[in-house]
Amino acid sequence: MITTDEFANEIIDIRRVSKVTKGGRNLKFRVTIVIGDGKGRVGVGLGNTTEIPRAIQQAIRDAKKNLIQVRLDGGTIPHEVIGEFKAGKVLLKPAHPGTGIIAGGTVGAICRLSGIRDILSKSLGTTNPLTLSRAAIAGLTQLRSQNEVEVLRGRHVGAEEVRDAA
């Protein structure tokens, strides 16, 4: 894990990719990186150049352009959500304090760097790290806090209504 500015980053995937041309194969490296500040901001970036260090720097710049703000509820997420991107699906569920991050490598890195301390997740569909990371980011962008949902619905759930429902 390398720290740059106020962001920590973690390399999710390094792949050697090639393009076949008339003159032969052109080899490059594709690097997928996740960056986060541990306070709710996280982003995934992609770099593709002939040298790994340059690809890493390119991926960090790309991730900074694609930062999102994750809505946290204490150390977990406010509600269950399914993020989808192409063939990848990621189920994210809130967990009780002390549970930890129950997630695979890609989704676990995104949760760690975004500041989530307790979460349950399940990856469905593809195992491609790039697709899974995009699906996890899509799921995290769907999160809404209780106050936001109340405003959207035009209601306010007070303490008396909660007691009446129980």
pLDDT per residue as tens digits for the range 120-150: 999 999 999 999 999 999 999 999 988 888 8
Q: What is the pLDDT of residue 2?
A: 58
Statement to judge: residues 84 and 57 lie in one domain: no
Total count of domains within the chain: 2
Statement to judge: residues 99 and 145 lie in one domain: yes
**Secondary-structure breakdown of the chain: helix, strand, coil percentages, each rounded to the nearest 5:** 30, 40, 30
CB 135 within 8 A of CB 83: yes
Q: What is the pLDDT of residue 6?
A: 84
Whether the predicted pLDDT of 67 surpasses 60: yes
Statement to judge: residues 83 and 143 lie in one domain: yes
Statement to judge: residues 50 and 29 lie in one domain: yes
* pLDDT tens for each residue of 18-46: 999 999 999 999 999 999 999 999 999 99
DSSP character at residue 39:
S
What domain range includes position 11?
2-68
Residue 162 lies in a domain: no
Closest among 45, 126, 43, 141 to 87, alpha carbons compared: 126
Residue 49 belongs to what H/E stretch?
Answer: strand 41-49
∠67-14-64 over CA atoms, to 5°? Answer: 15
